[in-house]
Structure 1
């Protein structure tokens, strides 16, 4: 659905959750294209390693250790980039997951997912939007939100996570329409199961519909789609896309397809936790 190609070189901006996984991989991609990036995350050691790897690719970085859910975090990020001449990239990637039956999920885990996956990126985008708009007057700014394939097919034992990821997807869709003509390109990524550290505690495999793609393949899809000016970038494998299409045309058929494996799926995902 993209109409105009995007120049991804020499971007200056913020990547949250930059210490590992998709966040680190995107930092490397923008770094090798000459980017200057503020790497935001909770662990200094992992951010420092990302910064080292970005430098090897030719990019430059600043590091900010920050829990996005704490009071003042968004303002501290904004203050860090306030002196930059250009801010034309924001990647809302930080997120966490806690799988399992809803009634067994603690209130703290519910709040943790909502606060980091949904509230934080909305507030960060709101705060940085004036800078993105100002920088977008030249060649266009990029707002990249990392949702999930679960935003397209709500899967059992991921009800709260699905709520947050479908929320950020709809946030992006509405904001894209709000920002038409401003020079801010809003894109949403829908990763399927990806081989990252976030998935190490999840034991569902291909037999349960959770075949994982390599991080390199997913990031390639993201960068190709972004460069092509796409607004919706789906990195799911074809098998999952079949379920996504079925979920549009006949959602009860998806229910029926999942029903026989519910018990096995619950056992496989009940320890999936990245909080």
Structure 2
């Protein structure tokens, strides 16, 4: 896909990967609208983005609600004059032992990470079909590929988003809409501030700009997936497929330190 002049809606665009992706796409000539739940953070992001493209627009909305999703699509299409690329990036995390996490926080992860992208995509499909050359980008997580202890529900939502994208890609094949799924590893974003795990526990971090550049390249080349983490991640994925018990043993040795490091990891 050619990026220049494409009309792009990015959810969760006020910080992290979403904001970096907005910068990357604007610098390549795309027209962008970003969404966020927090008006102050969204206004700050908009000011930064307008230094690259004064015409960029923002939409304050809660995508976990029907009204928020409807307003997002309506305002984005009006501001952009149509829609060519939908980026489902908004998400939340709450780590810890399953039995200690309040039900409301588990439900919040399910709603924002899985239900909202599915329903927003459904609402966006008429505008994407009208484009004739459209792409849906779903931002999942490396934890969707290798389940990590203390992230059971987060892993479930992101793995669900990954399979949703794969099935939808096949459903839409030949109809002018492509679907790309990104699986970032640890990324230096506000979402990770309360996570104290480092590379020794499997949480090496890269800049959000590097993830964004890889996703843009994936959009340009009509890639099916963008998986971050390099050869180390590829080896772990292969081991998890071929000898999952070995991965179980590796995590067993890390569990005490990992639980302590992520017990306060929360961004909902």
* TM-score normalised by the chain length of structure 1: 0.93
Cα shift at 1:59: 5.7
What is the DSSP-based 3-state SS (H/G/I as helix, E as strand, rest coil) of the residue aligned with 2:187? coil
* Partner of residue 90 from structure 1, selected from 78, 86, 100: 86
Residue in structure 2 matched with residue 247 of structure 1 by the alignment: 240
1:191 paired to 2:184: yes
Residue in 2 that maps onto 1:3: none
Equivalent-residue separation in structure 2 for 1:184 and 1:250 (angstroms): 36
Root-mean-square deviation (CA, aligned residues, Å) is: 1.3
Distance 1:218 1:73 in 2: 27
Q: Distance in 2 between matches of 1:48 and 1:115?
A: 24
Q: Which runs of 5+ in 2 are unaligned?
A: none
Unaligned runs of 5+ residues in structure 1 are 1-5
Q: CA deviation at 1:34?
A: 2.4
Aligned positions, number:
267
- C-alpha distance in 1, partners of 2:134/2:15? 24
User: Is 1:153 paired with 2:149?
Assistant: no
Do the aligned partners of residues 274 and 51 (structure 1) sit closer, same or farther apart at CA in structure 2, a change above 3 Å counting?
same
Matched, 1:79 2:74: yes
Q: How far does the alpha carbon of each residue in 1:42-99 deviate from its partner, in whole angstroms, 9 at most, with x for none?
A: 1122222222222222362222111111241111112213445321010000000000
Q: Secondary structure at the match of 1:72?
A: helix
TM alignment of 1:6-45, pairs within 5 A: 6-45=1-40
Q: Deviations over 1:155-184 (max 9, x none)?
A: 100000000000000000000000001111
Contact 1:35–1:60 (CA under 8 A) maintained in structure 2: no
